[in-house]
Chain A
Amino acid sequence: MKLQIDFREIEGGMRFYSLLGFIGLFVLAGLGAAYFMEHNGHHVTGMTNQIVWGTPHVFAVFLIVAASGALNVASISSVFGKTPYKPLARLSGLLAIALLVGGLAILVLDLGRPDRLIVAMTYYNFKSIFAWNIILYIGFMAVVAVSLWMMMERKMNAFTRLAGFTAFIWRLILTTGTGSIFGFLVARQAYDAALMAPMFIIMSFSFGLAIFILVLMAAYKWSDRPLGDLIINRLKNLLGVFIAAVLYFVMVYHLTNLYMTEHHGVERFILLDGGVYTNLFWFVQILLGSLVPLALLYHPTTGKSRGWIGLASLLVIIGGLAQMYIIIIGGQAYPLELFPGMEVTSSFFDGGINAYAPSLPEIVLGISGIAMALAAVVVGIRVLRFLPLSLADELVDPHHHAAGTAKAAA
């Protein structure tokens, strides 16, 4: 007999409201930071005419990239037909929309004229990948919302696969668009590479899944629902593959640049003598954010422990933020090469490494984006049936037996 997965809202009460209240504080702080920045103008931030995109953009792009990655679990279930992932598909869709909302909120609140959001919605320059992204982001939310409806409404279940397929294709295009924001920039040495688009896609797989694992474990722990090792094992093995894939893309990107003399300057800056950027690259992105989690996930002891898997996921997120910091801010810190072979100086900081230090309002606004995403998830699972009552091993895979837990993930 096939066991039925029973989806239920989480309970209200003190625990729910205190969690929501705690997250709400960060959201409020972020709104305050945005008001402070808009009221005074951006000179109160660390952003300048040299570093035009700062810490808010690091968080925003990270969240937007992670959003499409969070949808992976649903895609594996609906597009690739892997039944063990099916009970997680709803949470996957919810998290995807929530992360995107959080990321977009940061971007909008950082605009020079956030009051002109309606202009961004009504004036389109179709040659701009940014304009396309506005359409792709809004469309993503709609497509995922429809896909969730197909999953949650029994009468519409037949369309789940079609909706899931549409969402999967959409998220690939969306992340291609996000990567191309940088890939299409011919001006700067660190960008202008077609590799940006696929690299952002694989980054989204990794970051999105890391966030998904943490949210899943937290939700089941705090709602006292059983969560079996089977599903966690599958997810953590998949995360390991994604981390390795990101490393591969990072390696190809740098190797290509290292081969071309014109990019030696920027490579030397990021990899060797860029100070904070070099440290972030080697110690946070590569060591702490990639190699350590890989070791933790595949080590025979730590790879079986919830705590270590959670830590590995957290490290992937930290490494991902570092990677975004290096791409976005490191890419601007390195000067434009207008006169190759020349030492360049000017009153406008030409030719030198551009200084940047994140200001408190920027960091608070960035963190509030994460808080907005989490608040949306917490409210979502409270009011609608996103979470299965149990994800115990025998429910996830009826043919499961003890030896099966060790088998590799799909």
Chain B
Amino acid sequence: MTDNANIDTYRRRFLGNTATAIAGLSVAPGVFLHEVAQARPADEAVTSDVRWGMLIDTNKCANGCTDCVTSCNDEHGLTGHGRPETDAQWIRKVDLRDKQTGHTQSLPLLCQHCEHPPCVDVCPTGASFKRADGIVLVDKHICIGCRYCMMACPYKARSFIHEALQDQLPHAPRGKGTVESCTFCVHRVDEGRTPACVEACTAENHNAMVFGDINDPDSKIAMQLKQHSSRQIRADLNLNTGVRYRGI
């Protein structure tokens, strides 16, 4: 009787611990992934529950540093042809000097991923489009190369491909005669990673760029946006840009 009671106690404890462990093992990866990267299964459509955005702190952006630009070029295979007027630039460093006060600043400028993008409005074929999660992209298959989006973009964020390209990267399809711009590194974002420029800026410990889901109140970007004042470039156009700036 005593032996049986001992065995029962042991068995119960064993079963209980095993169940907890199994439950933990099955739930943990989900919780872990959700917390760290908010990754979404590849076969699941993007939703407007998420709005990807970027906060750039110009006070932390080092003058003369172009790590964000270099990493973007490497990430997407943007090799120049030595013709700066026609070579593609998805992100660029812009230097500002206040005409009145002489105060100087430096900041990266890229596609602002507007909520109401003028490029999407004007595109005749619908090649320029905005994903539900706020990322503005060009469908290279139906872009006819009319460049009306480049006329319409208030941020000069887009580039036209002026020559034939070779060895494009699989995750960054590009082609002669079509228009392209910053994709917010959509291929990385869909894997739960951050854009290359943000990663490079953080790696250098400048930490001038924060990327995340503006709609998620617990995200770093949402908390910083709530805490500090920030600005949209050309806020007068009321485009509700996904990229915000501090310090300008």
Contacts and interface: CB of A to CB of B under 8 A. Distances in A.
Interface residues of B, number: 57
Interface of B: 69, 81, 83-89, 92-100, 109, 118, 120-127, 142-148, 150-156, 158-164, 176-179, 233-234, 237, 248
Contacts of B120: 125
Contacts of B178: 112-113
A348 B177 CA distance: 19
A184 B109 CA distance: 24
27 contacts: A41-B177, A49-B162, A50-B156, A52-B150, A111-B146, A111-B177, A116-B143, A125-B120, A125-B124, A125-B126, A128-B123, A131-B125, A187-B154, A336-B155, A336-B156, A339-B96, A341-B99, A343-B96, A345-B95, A346-B92, A346-B93, A346-B94, A347-B69, A347-B84, A347-B93, A348-B109, A350-B156
A43 interface: yes
B210 to A, nearest CB: 21
Contacts of B88: 49
Interface residues of A, number: 50
Contacts, number: 173
B85 A49 contact: yes
B142 A344 contact: no
Main secondary structure of the interface of B (DSSP, over half): loop
Given A125-B125, A338-B234, A40 B89 contact: no
A120 B160 contact: no
Determine chain A's interface SS by DSSP, over half rule: loop
A55 B121 CA distance: 25
Contacts of A347: 69, 84, 89, 92-93
A263 interface: no
A399 interface: no
Given A112-B178, A130-B122, A186-B118, 13 more contacts: A41-B164, A41-B177, A42-B177, A111-B146, A112-B143, A114-B144, A120-B144, A120-B146, A125-B125, A134-B124, A185-B122, A345-B94, A346-B93
A127 interface: yes
A201 B163 CA distance: 37
